[in-house]
Structure 1
Amino acid sequence: MGTAAGPAFDTEALRRGIEGHSAADLLSLYADDAELRVVDHNTQPSHPMVKHGRDEIAGMLNDVYSRDMTHKLERCVVQGDQVAFTESCQYPDGVKVLASSMVSLRDGKIVEHTLLQAWDE
């Protein structure tokens, strides 16, 4: 007897969410109790920015998607309940951002997301 597979993660929905022009599509991929941890030049590993729950994550994503910039999903790998992806972004003045994410899923929704990002200075 086999085991029942949980809901599959929709990588095309991830692409649409990242490359879209609002945070709503991307936010729909997160579980209500999700946690997002961001590590970058300003929020280093010993003191990352941590957002708890969809409401806090929505605040951050709404800020990001209110900016005049492009986002592109570069690569995405799904293995079981783990997803890894890279995203490139660019502001109109040419400043680039590269982000790498590792995600844990529950029932096809993101429950833990660790984001490492770097940008041109």
Structure 2
Amino acid sequence: MATTTGPAFDTDTLRRGIEERTASTLLSLYSDDARIRIVDRDAQPSHPKVLHGRDEIGSMLEDVCGRDMTHRLEQCVVQGDHAAFVESCEYADGVKVLAESMITLRDGKIADQILIQAWDE
């Protein structure tokens, strides 16, 4: 019996978008109806910040990519229709940020993402 597989998640595009701070490259990885739930010190687990669709997600990516900071993809693991990745960031003043994401994929695009982030105080 032959099996068919859908498009694969493009980890090279993920790395390039993160490390080159290119919001449009990152946004190309999301489905039109994608959702991101963000948990951090300001958005606790019972009340996460939720972004719906490419417009809201694109605005957030433009903001983050426009900041004076470096971004690095530390690890990325893809298994079937799920992926996880770790991103480390550092602002020009030395403040560090660590973000971990678990994503659900649909047709090789991010359909749902849970992002947990912490930063130096």
Give the % identical residues. 68
Query: What does the per-residue CA deviation read over 1:73-119, in whole Å, with 9 as the maximum and x for residues that have no partner?
Result: 00000000100000000001000000000000000000001000000
Instruction: Give structure 1 regions of 4+ aligned residues with deviation exceeding 2 angstroms.
Output: none
Gapped runs of 5+ residues in structure 2? none
Partner residue of 2:2? 2
CA distance in 2, matches of 1:55, 1:94: 31
CA distance in 2, matches of 1:81, 1:22: 24
TM-score (norm 1): 0.98
RMSD: 0.6
Partner residue of 2:109? 109
Partner residue of 2:25? 25
CA distance in 2, matches of 1:59, 1:9: 22
Q: What displacement does 1:59 show?
A: 0.8
